[in-house]
Amino acid sequence: MLHLLDQHQTPIGTFETYECLIDYIHKSRIYKLRLLIYRNYPFENVLDLEETRWRFVHYKHAELSVIYSCMKEPPIKGIEKQAFDQGLDLIEVYQGSPTNPLQIPVTADLNIQELQKDWCEAYCKAHGYSLLTYGDGESTDEDSAEPQTTGGADDLVI
């Protein structure tokens, strides 16, 4: 189990997987930004850049096929093109910058959970959060020890 805490160590939420935590972060961040921007600029949509600074996106090959089939000349190159041509899924990781994401083709030996964990830890550290991790229900010596934490400034609490 994963427990997300704000900078004051107040619990924000509990999540079963890093994927669930990523979904929560994406949805919470977008909601907060829309609320804050709408208060100041009710008729403008200026979120596109902000929403892309911290993202972890897993594109299925079938989804990319549908998207690219609608384009006369799909704007793909490099790793993205190689993954698409090989029929692979693609992961894009944005860590604080809306440009130049890390692109990773999904192969059988890729540890997606480890990538998700690394992204969550980096996000928490950058935003002042702590992430406590507990065992998955099995009692081990590690579970009885203090939980592991990852620190980072608060942008989720409204």
133-144 pLDDT, tens digit per residue, is 887 544 334 444
pLDDT(11) > 90: yes
Cβ contacts of 16 within 8 Å, gap of 6 or more = 1, 2
pLDDT digit string (tens) for 15-74? 999 999 999 988 887 666 555 555 555 555 554 555 668 889 999 999 888 888 888 777
Answer for the pair 130, 120: CB distance below 8 angstroms, yes or no.
Answer: no
CA 9, chain centre distance (Å) = 21
Asked if the model's pLDDT at residue 75 lies above 50, the reply is yes
User: What is the pLDDT of the chain when averaged over all its residues?
Assistant: 78
> Considering the entire predicted model, what is its pTM?
0.72
Rounded CA-CA distance 116/2 in Å is 13
